Amino acid sequence: MYEDEPERMYREASRLVALGISVIPTGGGLSPKAKEPHHEALKATGHGHLSRGGERRSTWKAFQDRLPTQDELRAWYLEHRARGLGFVTGRLSGWVVVDVDPEGLPLLAALGWPPHVLSPSGGAHLYLRHPGWYVPSNASKNKAALPPGFDIRGDGGYVMCPPSRTRRGQYRRTRQQHPLLLEAIPERVTVQGTEYPLREALGLVRPAAPARVQQGQTVLPQGGDQGGRVPVWLMLDRASAYAPISRNRGAFMFGLWMHANGYGEDEALRHVEEYVTRVQGVKRTPFTQGEARQAVQSAYRYPRNEPWKRRDDSQVG
């Protein structure tokens, strides 16, 4: 029944790539690592790196920025026989996915959102167009902000895609053809007496434009001359304010602001440790420098915004 599973994944992967959607190979089938990237297939096609311990590990980071080639698809599925398909979410593919576990199904029913994919665990996936700003993946690390059973797969993430399967069953498409609309997501929901900022916690609120320094206010650089640029400490302060909702979002905004204000990516990355130190204790769950670095690097792949402007007493309006 499943002898041609890699061939079926190859055909579906080719179809998605033709639509401009990035994909990666996953273990699939009865593998205990069915939902994980297919490490051997990725490494065999040059997507690997050496760990600090000298172990060669796979990476799928490249496919957040470009589509896989037909040669890569053939190698993954026809040569290395990968049996699963990962749909890469984010800016490149143009989609984000609300991932609902069984725990979140009562709220999903109350919201009236028809799912696009049913998962083997009994959960659901809902697809909506990427909004154009950075949307963090795995927002459920912020347990206090998201209702139980709800998560998001955005930039830097992926979801298992039909016709993939796991030991528990197959991912199945529903008849729902229309994407979930951003406007259909309420700003706040209440579950068992607790109110949650649903849209913001999912990363689906447009980031606010950086507030300008008020008229007459003086901004002093920290740590020496910064060439007249906005001081790093000010951007760190404002980025840290995002931490109660999303530490990833704060790191992304820090990168976005550093880029806009004339700092290079290397300069921004040198301040990642300081940012992580500032926000680490905001939530009980760990937040690593690697996560922050990825968010900052992602910000530098977006077009550069206008630099911040400072008003002083000599400026009017």
Alpha-carbon distance 259 to 23, whole Å?
A: 29
pLDDT at position 8 is 96
186 confidence band (pLDDT: 50, 70, 90):
very high
Give the pLDDT mean for 74-100: 96
- Average pLDDT estimate for 150-169: 94
Helices (H), the chain: 5-18, 39-44, 70-74, 105-111, 198-201, 232-240, 247-260, 265-269, 272-279, 289-299
pLDDT score at 301: 86
Question: If we measure between CA atoms, which residue out of 160, 137, 149 comes closest to residue 291?
Answer: 137
CB 187 within 8 A of CB 167: no
With a threshold of 0.75, does the pTM exceed it? Answer: no
Helices and strands, counts by H and E, the chain: 10, 14
Higher pLDDT, 219 or 206: 206
DSSP 156-196: T-EEE-TT-EETTEE-EE-S--SPPPGGGS-S-EEETTEEE
pLDDT at 72: 97
**Ramachandran angles phi, psi of 310, nearest 5°:** -110, 130
Closest CA to 117 of 106, 107, 128: 128
Confidence of residue 198 (pLDDT cuts 50, 70, 90): very high
Residue 317: what pLDDT?
30
Distance CA 219, CA 10 (A): 56
| Mean pLDDT in residue range 274-280 | 88
CA distance linking residue 203 with residue 250, whole number of Å: 11
- % of the chain at pLDDT higher than 90: 60
Query: Which value, to the nearest 10 degrees, does the dihedral of the CA atoms of residues 265, 269, 275, 277 take?
Result: 180
- Examine the pLDDT at 184 and tell me if it is beyond 90: yes
pLDDT of residue 314: 36
Mean pLDDT of 173-193: 95
Chain mean pLDDT for the chain:
86
Q: Measure the CA–CA gap between 36 and 100, rounded to whole angstroms.
A: 19
| pLDDT band (50, 70, 90) for residue 111 | very high
CB hemisphere CA count around 275 (13 angstroms): 35
- Determine which of 77-91, 209-223, 276-290 has the lowest per-residue pLDDT on average: 209-223
CA torsion angle for 152, 158, 159, 160 (degrees, to 10)? -170
Q: What does the pLDDT read at residue 199?
A: 92
Most confident of 53-62, 88-97, 234-243: 88-97
Q: Please tell me the predicted confidence (pLDDT) of residue 316.
A: 29
pLDDT, mean of residues 49-61: 79
From 148, 156, 162, select the one nearest 117 (Cα to Cα): 162
Which DSSP letter does residue 142 get? S
Amino acid identity at 305:
N
Lowest mean pLDDT among 137-141, 184-188, 234-238: 137-141
Reported as a pLDDT band with limits 50, 70 and 90, residue 296 is very high
* Contact between 141 and 285 (Cβ < 8 Å): yes
Burial class (CB in 10 A: 0-12, 13-18, 19+), 309: exposed
Distance CA(137)–CA(64), nearest Å, equals 13
**Does residue 218 carry a pLDDT above 60?**
no
Domain ranges of the chain: 5-201, 210-308
The Cα angle at residue 185 between residues 182 and 187, in degrees rounded to 5: 115
- 239, two tokens: 């980025």
pLDDT of residue 283: 75
